[in-house]
Amino acid sequence: MKKVEKVSIGRYAFTLYEEAYYKASEYLDELSNYYSNREGGNEVMEGIEERMAELLLEKCGPGGIVSVEMISEVISILGRPESSKMRIPMDRQAPAATFITMQRKNSFATPPQGFWVESAAVWLPISI
């Protein structure tokens, strides 16, 4: 029998196997430490958690149990804060027809000027 933890990620309830819980918790703590002293860090963390929740819902559905493999896949999609994968520069002159899906399906937005995009889900401010 495996232990499970019930948690809220991005305002969604999930049941995680104990190993998955520790891995997700470690990852979110790492991101929180990275963004805590940055302008807009709280909003960035909220967006990352919402995206993480969306990815987990795709993988296990509502009511499913999240495995450590699922968490690893989600982390590989979202990337680490120091990796270039999390900091993809957006062209400021992108055509108006270019849309980035944010937070929910059927919700679209274009990047604000002077911002970066993370995994096509979260706007990250440029640090100058």
Stretch 78-82: mean pLDDT, rounded? 84
β-pair type (108-109, 88-89):
unpaired
The structure tokens listed for 128 are 């100058």
Distance in angstroms (rounded) separating the CA atoms of residues 33 and 42: 11
CA angle 20, 61, 53 (to 5 degrees): 60
Stretch 34-52: mean pLDDT, rounded? 91
Percentage of the chain modeled with pLDDT above 90 = 47
Q: Is residue 27's pLDDT more than 60?
A: yes
pTM: 0.63
Residue-level pLDDT at 110: 47
85 class by beta-carbon count within 10 Å (0-12 exposed, 13-18 middle, 19+ buried): middle
Stretch 99-111: mean pLDDT, rounded? 39
Cβ-based neighbour number of residue 59 at 10 Å: 15
Contact 113, 123 (CB under 8 A): no
Q: Is residue 64's pLDDT more than 70?
A: yes
Stretch 49-66: mean pLDDT, rounded? 92
